[in-house]
Amino acid sequence: MARRRSKNNLIILTVAAAIVLVVLSLVIHFSADLLELILRFRADKIATPEHIIAALQLVLFGILAYIVVRALNFTVFGLFRLRRGFDAPTLVQNVFSIIAFSLLFLLIFSWEFPNANLGALFTTSAIFGVILGLALQDTLGNFFAGISLQADRPFQVGDVITVGAQRHTGVVEEISWRAIKIRTFQNHVVLINNSSAAKEPIEVCPRDNLNARLVFFNTLYTDSPAKTIHVVREAVREADNVSDRITPVVRIRNLGDSGVDYECKYWLVDYAKYNDTDALVRQRIWYAFRRADLNFAFPTQTLHIERKPVTLGEVDGGALVERLAAVDIFAPLSVEETGMLAQAAVRHVFAPGETVIRAGEEGSSMFVVHNGRVQVQVNENGRPRPVATLNEGDFFGEMALFTGEPRTANVVAIEETEVLEIGHGAMKRVFDTNPDLVESLSFIISERRQGLVTHVDSDTSQGESSAGILSAIRRFFGIS
Ligand code: CMP
């Protein structure tokens, strides 16, 4: 984009220079005719024809000088960018242009009007000085405030700043000799005069700094603070754009009227995206609360009249039995046995992108997808690679549950997903009443393992025959 702008500038400068050169050469070439024309139409006697020609030439040479200065600016600062790898501050570029143009203009002026005493004109005219001073008061204020901003460098392009009583917040786009230009998070552009900015407090969140944010939440007094702190910390550290260089801090702010007030402090990788990250963090806290059976504190006034809100995916026991009966590995179970399993199952909700199971961890339960979809991923060369997508009615996590080995893959929610978790105890009761189930399970596990062997880095996932798995399950569950 910057390169395209430079190219356009170059084209405009070249065309303008060409036009001025043509007009200038015409004036010089036809100066005798022009002189005659002016003599014929001269109204007053103050200006001699030579003066008029000189003034015209001054204007044209002035334009040419401007173009030359722009071209010089372009070349000098282009070279600077090439050498240093970044743009020189706009203010420096502007000061360079102003000084270069003034010098050139004075040179042309004294060449065109050799008899005019410029020095005397500037030094003796006190009124001129006062008028100029008053007219340039604001401009010079901005200019010098801009210089001090450039010298101090309290912030740079790309930093997020908040300025003044109106608390304008946005990403700094430009610092010129007149103003600071910031782009707000509503994509508006705000210009703040350098002189106003110099008088106001400015909050700076530098781009290359780990800036922190705070998100507030609360729980009921009956919820354990130790558990709350652990659950929220683990949920937040996984969210996108939360830096893994510093562990989020969760602490009690206040023992409030309605419940215990907490704050969660976390550090961002890219501070300019803090709105999205705050929202994601709040979302993760909500889901983590659901899974850990923690409760947000409602205002005390409404505590007695509010019913428990209808929860996402709220189902009755009958629907749970139906769901489990439709899972192929539980097909051999009787209605009573499936009912036993349904009673022991625990429901959890996961946000899109949340990890349900992490490869390598210990696990003593399996899961059935009740609503939503999950993706099974293996770590290949240190990167997650999808191997399967599981939909409603599919199950996962059975390998660790039945063999006691670590989890073989990551399972991540693709969309908001509700899963039913079935623990070791519940499965053991089912195996005790229906030992045939072990055989069909060992077959499925062996098939999935074959699928994993081709992908996984770790050596824990060697393909294993269903007979080997069968005896592993029997051993682990103490089935004879
Ligand atoms: P477990 O090893 O306990 O945890 C990760 C789970 O991912 C694993 O059990 C299986 O349920 C599931 N899994 C592994 N490989 C596959 C596969 N190829 N297809 C479907 N599911 C799989």
Statement: residue 307 has pLDDT above 80 = no
Between 137 and 230, name the one with better pLDDT: 230
Rounded to a whole number, what is the distance in angstroms from the first to the last CA of the chain?
A: 73
CA–centroid distance, 319 to ligand 1, in Å, is 25
Model pLDDT for residues 311-364, shown as the tens digit of each residue: 333 456 678 888 898 887 787 788 888 888 888 899 999 999 999 999 999 998
Between 444 and 132, name the one with better pLDDT: 444
CB-CB contact of 73 with 37 (8 Å): no
Q: Report the chain's mean pLDDT, rounded to a whole number.
A: 82
CB of 386 closer than 6 angstroms to any ligand 1 atom: no
Question: How many Å apart are CA 470 and CA 427, to the nearest integer?
Answer: 15
Residue with tokens 């179970």: 333
Between 5 and 66, name the one with better pLDDT: 66
pLDDT band at 1; cut points 50, 70, 90: very low
CA–centroid distance, 211 to ligand 1, in Å, is 38
CB of 363 closer than 6 angstroms to any ligand 1 atom: yes
Lowest mean pLDDT across 179-188, 267-276, 300-309, 416-425: 300-309
CA–centroid distance, 409 to ligand 1, in Å, is 6
Residue with tokens 């007094």: 221
Q: Compute the Cα dihedral for 267, 273, 279, 280 and give only its sign.
A: negative
Q: Which atom of ligand 1 is nearest to the CA of 410?
A: 5
Among protein residues, the one with the nearest Cα to ligand 1's atom 12 is: 396
CB of 159 closer than 6 angstroms to any ligand 1 atom: no
CB of 287 closer than 6 angstroms to any ligand 1 atom: no
CB of 259 closer than 6 angstroms to any ligand 1 atom: no
Q: Going along 424-466, which residue ranges are E strands?
A: none
CA–centroid distance, 98 to ligand 1, in Å, is 70
The number of residues in the chain equals 480
CB of 409 closer than 6 angstroms to any ligand 1 atom: yes
CB-CB contact of 163 with 192 (8 Å): yes
CA–centroid distance, 458 to ligand 1, in Å, is 14
CB of 399 closer than 6 angstroms to any ligand 1 atom: yes
DSSP of 304-359, one letter per residue?
TTPPPPPPTT---HHHHHHHHHTSGGGTTS-HHHHHHHHHH-EEEEE-TT-EEE-T
CA–centroid distance, 408 to ligand 1, in Å, is 6
Between 424 and 20, name the one with better pLDDT: 424
Model pLDDT for residues 78-87, shown as the tens digit of each residue: 888 888 777 7
Among protein residues, the one with the nearest Cα to ligand 1's atom 20 is: 388
Statement: residue 458 has pLDDT above 70 = no
CB of 397 closer than 6 angstroms to any ligand 1 atom: yes
CB of 197 closer than 6 angstroms to any ligand 1 atom: no
For the whole model, what pTM was predicted?
A: 0.55
CB-CB contact of 332 with 411 (8 Å): no
Q: What radius of gyration, in Å, describes the C-alpha atoms of the chain?
A: 38
CB of 16 closer than 6 angstroms to any ligand 1 atom: no
Share of the chain above pLDDT 70, in %: 82
CB-CB contact of 108 with 58 (8 Å): yes
Q: Which atom of ligand 1 is nearest to the CA of 408?
A: 2
The CA–CA distances, whole Å, from 314 to 219, 310, 311, 348, 370 equal 22, 7, 5, 11, 11
CB of 329 closer than 6 angstroms to any ligand 1 atom: no
SS3 439: helix
Query: φ and ψ at 299, to 5 degrees?
Result: -55, 140
CB-CB contact of 207 with 249 (8 Å): no
Between 261 and 72, name the one with better pLDDT: 261
Model pLDDT for residues 241-251, shown as the tens digit of each residue: 999 999 999 99
Closest by alpha carbon to 118, among 65, 64, 58, 31? 58
Q: Is 411 exposed, middle or buried (0-12, 13-18, 19+ CB in 10 A)?
A: buried
Between 400 and 43, name the one with better pLDDT: 400
Share of the chain above pLDDT 90, in %: 34
Instruction: Compute the CA torsion angle 308, 310, 314, 317 (nearest 10 deg).
Output: 50
CA–centroid distance, 407 to ligand 1, in Å, is 8
Strand (E) or helix (H) holding 174 = strand 168-175
pLDDT of residue 372: 95
The residue whose CB lies within 8 Å of the most ligand 1 atoms, and thus the one to mutate among 376, 385, 461, is 376
CA–centroid distance, 434 to ligand 1, in Å, is 23
Residue 264 in tokens: 């969660």
CB of 374 closer than 6 angstroms to any ligand 1 atom: no
Question: How many Å apart are CA 278 and CA 284, to the nearest integer?
Answer: 10
Q: Strand 383-390 and strand 374-380: pairing? A: antiparallel
Instruction: Compute the CA torsion angle 264, 269, 275, 277 (nearest 10 deg).
Output: -60
